[in-house]
Chain A
Amino acid sequence: MNAKEVQVYINGKTYGASEGEPLIGVARRNGIFIPSLCYEESLEPYGACRMCIVEIKNEGVKKRIVTSCTLHVFDGLSVETDSEEVLKHRKVLLELYLAQAPNSSKLKELALKYGVNRTRFRQKVRDNDPLNNSCVLCGLCVRVCSEVMGARVISFIGRGEKTRVNTPYFEQSELCLGCRACAEVCPTGAIEFRDDGGIRVAASWSNTKVELKKCNVCGKYYAPVKLDKRIDTLYYYRDKDGELRDMCPDCRRKAMTRKMTLIAENEVEKYAK
């Protein structure tokens, strides 16, 4: 189903978009910066971090502040991404974030971008916090783990201001694939993984341990065993005799190249004959 092409106005300029897509996507595609901590294209809009607020400025409509990740564009939509009102609220939100996650340097960087270098609010510091007092509960890790990886290792624990993210009962999880997708999407760099020989330790997730696979060729640990099982070399590389299995990406690439070269040489020879 092809969505209707529409025109939207962002900060006064006209952009094309397809009807119903989130505004934040349109903006980012066109190089307009809208800060966000919980938006990820591959996931459903979640609307938790409230950083991506914009102001709707259509004529005849009451000006209002909405999150651009949940704003479905329509023809003639006009928004401002950094209006005075938006900036005012965004700064207060940043102060709240700084108080909530005082240890995150990524967050401090973002705050500085808006001229926020301190917070008026009481800082929330937990002793021995597995997330290093950097988590802002954006939910990206939880969602990527369940929606993309299908693993559901971590989830929210408790509610309200006592909410935390971790494995159930803070026990080591058997479900973790060790994919590090959570750490990858984390906007504040709160999630810590550590590779310890043949074991990957998810330090943030109750020290969940995942076994790593060793490369048959170079001996390097390259991927968690559980993930490696999912790699279908037959499908991807037409690896009929399975010789590309159990190889780290580097060695596999080398082997592939070798194989291709061989095939190419054979072809050349065939041609020459």
Chain B
Amino acid sequence: MKIGNFEDIERIKERGLKKLKPEDRIRVSVGMATCGISVGGDAVFDAFRGMLGYRDDVILTRTGCIGFCHEEPLVNIYIPEKGILILHRVQPESVKDIVNNLDSVETLDSVLCQIDSWDHLVGGKIEYGNGFEGIPRWNELDFFKPQRKLVMRNAGIINPEDIDEYIAVGGYSALYRVLKGMTPDEVIDEVKKSGLRGRGGAGFPTGVKWELAKNEQSDVKYVICNADEGDPGAYMNRNEMESDPHSVIEGMIIGGYAIGAHKGIIYIRAEYPLALYRLQKAINEAKSYGLLGKNILGSDFDFEITISKGAGAFVCGEETALIASIEGETGRPRPRPPYPAQKGLWGKPTNINNVETWTNIPLIIKKGGEWFRQFGNEKSPGTKVFSLVGKVENVGLVEVELGTPIRTVVYDIGGGAPKGRKVKAVQTGGPSGGCIPAKFFDLPIDYENLTKVGSIMGSGGMVVMDENTCMVDTARFFLDFSVDESCGKCVPCREGLKQMLTMLQGISSGEGARSDLETLSELSETIKTTSLCGLGQTAPNPVLTTLKYFKEEYIEHVDKKRCRAGICEDLVYAPCHNSCPLGQDAPSYIAYIAHGEFDRSLEVIMRTNPFPGILGRVCDHPCELHCRAGEGGDPISIRALKRFAADRGAMPHIKIETEKDKRVAIVGSGPAGLSAAYFLRLKGYGVDIFESEDKPGGMLRIIPDYRLPKDVLDREIKRIEGFGVNIKYGIKVGEDKTIHELFNEGYDALFLGVGFRNGAKLNIPGEEAEGVFDGISFLKRVAKGEKLDLGENIYVVGGGNVAIDAARTAWRIAENANVNIVYRRTRREMPAIGGEVEDALFEWINIEFLTNPVKIITENGRVKAVEWVKMKLGEIDESGRPRPIPIEGSEFVTPVDTLIVCVGQTPDLSFAKGVEGLNLAGNTVSVDLDTMATSLKGVFAGGDIVTGPSTVVRAAAAGKTASESIDRYLKGGELKREFKVVFPSENVPLLKFSAEELKKLSLMGRVESPKVPLDRRRGSFVEVEKTLDVEAAIVEAKRCLRCDVKER
């Protein structure tokens, strides 16, 4: 049937609506775009077909992807009068359950959200029903809330293989309007008015482009749809074609009419078979309705569309190469001018637009250019679909208005990086784009802004990178792609990129030199300036931007032979070892546990760890964050295994080198001081520690007993003393003795391992009242055994480890009190160890986020209540976190009996008093971080006094580094540290597993340390975590992927 008039369209529309929204039948549509099929959408569809085949009260269809690819396979279930329910992660096995419960499908666990009405824009809003109770609407989900669906107006709702449904949601009505009453100039005017810019990436105004092609005099003209989408990690065009192919076709017909072309070509890569199939089907259906072919809709306009399949060369996305490819030539770009608008395909005027540009056209014609301009910003109106991929929780296709900040896309929609890691950068525009570091995340996404920071919009790929991404490797990856895809015509792109790749490979394998970095940027500039086409002109962008924003990572690779993300294979033998500040050979000691050789395991640990019992309990384990087993499943419980070895293994025999006649004085017996003492003593030096308190341990001693029992602490320190380290108590360096006096006493070198031992103040009124503590002194007093009366309402201010320790301690002491933590940012920004926060929540400690104290209200000199204010997150500050801003008028008061302030710590700098030549940086000592040497000869420093409050393992590592440079210093050699690529210290054989065992291990989750039940924790300081038992430890150790073994 050919459509000739408006009545025909109305008739088809009615028919389509009956399919889309049947009055008396349930409609099940399975998400079957490529993303859905790849995770089993077709199997789900088959399962539904098997179960529903005989039922005539249910319609089963396919649909495209609504964008939430992370939750695929999605199934839409339409229930008449109620609306559409979206089920997520549906597996074939669960289909039976769904079919049996079709009447009460809203009670299923797999319900994600509902759609009661959907604005199809072109055809207006369709009310699908009155809604289901208690189920969130689709746009109430975090993933969809900030989105604006213009291009994806029909995706995931209609059946893309049925033209009736497209017409039902207003399809081809824009074409009808154009052919029945608009001149080509009016069409172009409307597009110009909309301000639509090319969505292929360059952002050239579409209307202007059309006008150029229209003004060319020629009997034959062409319009081309560029569907050669090839950026790694970008697939929005694919989905647009798979989920709503008619939009593309309608846009092209309108474009053809506007410029006077009668032939359209869709250039699509053959590796998109589903898109190809659906496009071809859509073309055939459109033809049968008279929407393509001769005299479209009864007018005198003829238009044909054919599909031209490309072999998948990236460069064929460049318009002149694309034309060459359609003509049957090698896909190589040609010099411009002449531009395709003048001399394009077969030498005729040609207009090329991206899929997404075409998809926008029907909308602009139907709703008007003015309407379109309300979205996006002044220079970049409308929306853009991004494929959000990489290290982000919610992977999917995201359509946002242009001008939306990157932050919204990455955090609000994407949910940030998985496993609580920090997002480092995003790459937009694929291999032609650049890496945008997190500090620019407030940047509104539009063409100009992205260019400003060295990236490009591109066709919409957005790859998120977190701490586990190496920026050198990222640059190398994209460059590798560009080298592979370079056509080889012009020399800068062909030879230059290859040379850049060679250099980057050198850098990532530790063979780079500083001069390479300069050569890289010089070469990049030349390639950008002199390349023939867009591929070469943009290919250095990933390198240039990473060099600009992450230069320190390059320098680390070159100078320190270190890849902090643990990715560059030649520099990193295992990511756990690589991320350990102490450089613990984790794969080896874990492997020994798997072999059942616990003593050898402890021996390996003790080589680089002075107190495994302590670190096995309180380490913040960066190793587990980087563990490769954690990429697809759970990371190995490395800390628990270390503790197991420390508690189980027999103390190894540790050899002390021959006694040397040099002596070292160490100030402070905290983790940094103890670590320096231990390693110096093993080298044979005489070591004395000066401790101002009467007990050793420094900040270790204020860690509450439930995390680190005092007997463990004392045992570990005793052991260090056992090697011949003397600890002198009650001597405060700076007051009782000066640094100079120590040297005069015959010490040859000095190590400052002083902590940040005073709590910082809030500086608000009423802070001096009784019942207000700072976290450090609170913990210190509890540790000394003081009995404190805390009252009923306990509030802890802060989000760090001290805050959590204080809260959990208070919760234990005051058995009937309610304990609250108040933090001014959100959970994501909390600096405390994740596991500790979870434990606190488990202990029913309430955490109030985005709240800050304003005033302490006192009565008779005692705290009575606190006035709080709610906060909101603002722009990113120097710490890389969003700045909290008070919300005016949101103040409120709660009764408070005890307020514990844990908002930071300050050091006691009295040791530096009167010492000339010791450089300070604010309230820390400035050192050369490679050697820990201060500006004063023979004086070294490490730990909190250098970095500010940090973790135990970092302090211990600083002590270890300092001990090595003190050794070099005392031997009279070069102080400078030499960096080498590190290899495993042991060669532990691999265990043999049977296939069955291997399968079991690979499916297993991680073994956690057993914990004391909740009812035994309150009122007691019993250690919460227990040592793993032997069997559990061995199984957990067997799960290790053994990254250290390179060849099998």
Contacts and interface: CB of A to CB of B under 8 A. Distances in A.
Given A53-B530, A89-B526, A96 B499 contact: yes
Nearest to B526: A92
A162 interface: yes
Interface stretch (B263-271, B360-368, B489-497): B489-497
Contact of B488 (A47, A69, A121, A156): A156
B502 A122 contact: yes
B486 A136 contact: no
B527 to A, nearest CB: 9
B111 interface: no
A161 B335 contact: no
A129 B434 CA distance: 37
Contacts of B330: 156, 159
Given A65-B529, A89-B529, A160 B337 contact: no
Interface size on A, as a range, is 20 to 34
A47 B522 contact: no
Contacts of B1025: none
Contacts of B789: none
B496 A160 contact: no
Interface residues of B, number: 32
A161 B494 contact: yes
The winner among A47, A158, A161, A162 for most chain B CB atoms within 10 A is A161
A67 B494 CA distance: 17
Contacts of A72: 337
A49 interface: yes
A47 B486 contact: no
A96 B495 contact: yes
Interface string B480-506: 000111111111101111110010000
Given A50-B530, A65-B530, A89-B526, A163 B494 contact: yes
Interface string A234-246: 0000000000000
B530 A100 contact: no
A149 B485 CA distance: 31
A137 B499 contact: no
B742 to A, nearest CB: 52
Interface string B521-540: 01101100111100000000
Given A67-B335, A121-B499, A93 B489 contact: no
Contact of A48 (B522, B526, B529, B532): B532
B519 interface: yes
A65 to B, nearest CB: 5
Nearest to B531: A50
Given A65-B529, A96-B496, A97-B491, A45 B335 contact: yes
Contact of A160 (B486, B526, B529, B532): B486
A70 interface: yes
A89 B528 CA distance: 10
The winner among B313, B494, B531 for most chain A CB atoms within 10 A is B494
A93 B491 contact: yes
Nearest to B492: A50
A212 interface: no
B924 to A, nearest CB: 41
Contacts of B530: 50, 53, 65, 67, 89, 93
B492 to A, nearest CB: 6
Contacts of B336: 70
Contacts of B485: 160
Nearest to A96: B495
Interface string A72-116: 100000000000000011001100110110000000000000000
B321 to A, nearest CB: 11
B492 A96 contact: yes
A120 interface: yes
Contacts of B519: 120
Contacts of A69: 335
A193 interface: no
The winner among A48, A93, A124, A160 for most chain B CB atoms within 10 A is A160
Contacts of A49: 490-491
B499 A160 contact: no
A8 B526 CA distance: 26
A46 B492 contact: no
B488 A162 contact: yes
Contacts of B532: 47-48, 50
Contacts of B499: 96, 99, 121-122
A154 to B, nearest CB: 14
Contact of B483 (A48, A88, A93, A160): A160
Contacts of A67: 335, 530
Interface in B299-335: 313, 330, 334-335
A9 B334 CA distance: 27
A199 B57 CA distance: 84
A93 B525 CA distance: 11
Given A159-B486, A159-B487, A92 B494 contact: no
B488 A159 contact: yes
The winner among A53, A124, A156, A159 for most chain B CB atoms within 10 A is A159
Nearest to A161: B498
Contacts of A96: 491-492, 495-496, 499
A162 B484 CA distance: 9
A70 B494 CA distance: 19
Nearest to A94: B491
A256 B421 CA distance: 89
Interface string B625-669: 000000000000000000000000000000000000000000000
Contacts of B491: 48-50, 93, 96-97, 100, 136-137
A72 B489 CA distance: 21
A158 B485 CA distance: 11
Contacts of A124: 495
A204 B560 CA distance: 47
A147 B620 CA distance: 70
Interface string A30-74: 000000000000000111111001000000000001010110100
Interface in B458-514: 483-492, 494-499, 502
Contacts of B337: 70, 72
The winner among A50, A89, A120 for most chain B CB atoms within 10 A is A50
Contacts of B313: 159
Contacts of B526: 88-89, 92-93
A93 B484 contact: no
B488 A163 contact: yes
Contacts of A53: 530
Contacts of B334: 47
A50 B502 contact: no
A96 B334 CA distance: 22
A45 B532 CA distance: 12
Contacts of B486: 159-161
A136 B490 CA distance: 10
A70 B532 CA distance: 10
A119 B857 CA distance: 74
Contacts of A65: 529-530
Nearest to A92: B526
A124 B519 CA distance: 18
Interface in B928-974: none
A267 to B, nearest CB: 54
Interface string A139-172: 1000000000000000010111111000000000
Given A65-B529, A67-B335, A96-B496, A161 B523 contact: no
Of all A-B residue pairs in the complex, the 8 with the closest CB atoms, nearest first, are A163-B488, A47-B335, A70-B335, A92-B526, A161-B498, A160-B486, A96-B495, A121-B499
20 contacts: A47-B532, A65-B529, A67-B335, A70-B337, A92-B523, A97-B491, A100-B495, A121-B495, A136-B491, A137-B488, A137-B491, A139-B489, A158-B488, A159-B330, A159-B486, A159-B488, A160-B484, A160-B488, A161-B486, A161-B495
Given A70-B335, A89-B525, A160-B488, 10 more contacts: A48-B489, A48-B490, A50-B531, A72-B337, A92-B526, A93-B526, A122-B502, A159-B486, A160-B484, A161-B495
Interface of B: 313, 330, 334-337, 483-492, 494-499, 502, 519, 522-523, 525-526, 529-532
